[in-house]
Structure 1
Amino acid sequence: MTNPALSLIQTGLRDLGYQPGGIDGIFGGKTRGAAEAWLAASGAPAETSIAPDTTSIIYQGAARYPVHEIVVHCSATRPGWLELEGFAAQFKEIRRWHVEDRGWRDIGYHWVIGRSGVVIAGRPETEIGAGVVGHNSGVIHICLIGGFGSTENDAFSTNFTAAQDARLRAQIQAISMRTQITRISGHNEWAAKACPGFNVPSWLKGA
């Protein structure tokens, strides 16, 4: 049964830039996800614009590669991974994988977003990351905690939280205000991988 009051809520969520699905007065999965994202953003409008908002450019490395792209990744860990130890422990473990197991000088990502939407900085944005083989210069890499067992065409909400959705959109917007971002992609667009566990272009469109 449809609920007229819920239709008004769906309309409000849509007007704020969230994606509640059809305005049908039915509390389905999309409406729930939109409401959770709105709550995670403390009632603020969704920050979905990815158009360059600045004339500034971030340059990476000694060769000063201009940053024009963001690539999204996932940690491929289960939802409850190191949950009791907390997000800082999760971040530390990913850094250990990269430094001790792979021999890199630091964690490969520039930003890591936890299940609660909290974000921790990794490499400085002015340093070249290590997220995609052969595709790191001029790229900022963002990693989402989660994604174990995901496929490249899963819905975002299958493997990640509404808080992560809101934070990733906000992080993209913040980066686009520091440098002219012209492309946002997933790791799976550059390699035969499921990572980040969803289709980034479709997610950006709210599909």
Structure 2
Amino acid sequence: MENVVISYFRVESEAFQALSELKKLSTFEDEAVLSQVGILKKEHGNILLKDSFDTGKVSADDTLIGSIVGGLAGIIAGPLGVLLGVGIGGSVGLLADANDMKRETGLFWSMTLRMKDGDVAIVSVVQEQSEAPLDRVFGKFETVVERYPAAEIQEEIEHARELQDDLEKQARDKMAEERSATREKKVAEYKEKMQADFNKLKERFGS
């Protein structure tokens, strides 16, 4: 089955150790075929892609599986990801009971809920005949591991892009609206206040 496997780490060095082992695992094709792997870290409230590799076996720039890690990172780092993360980062925490997270919440929402600043997640796009190879790698560390059908994640990425485009359009349209009487009043108040501030500044220099 084609899966996106998310493994959450609190210790960054352990995540990079796991990444190194996954690179070795990518040479074994009997139980699991890795396509892409990326590491995302939450810093100052933002989840950013820190490193990644592509085995080149079954993915390319123009394939669906070749766009999952980059698409996921792009959405999370974009306006929609920021909106999802506002006020909730760390409210659940990395090692919360995985059963409390319902699949219906979606991967983006789950990641923003789970990850605190400093937490790291490995995203693996893999075809698994067996879950054992990746479980052996991640089982060496204190992690929470979740699996999602890759087709569901691809659709979620596309849906999120559509929502993000809508948000950006709404923001542009809102900013382009004619000034209302209330906004014009605020402009006049700001103008008067700025003039007063400059007058005080000139008086200070003149004294």
Q: Normalized against structure 2, the TM-score is what?
A: 0.31
With a CA cutoff of 8 Å and minimum separation of 6, indicate the structure with the bigger relative contact order.
Answer: 2
Q: Which structure has the highest strand share of the two?
A: 2
- Structure number with bigger Rg: 2
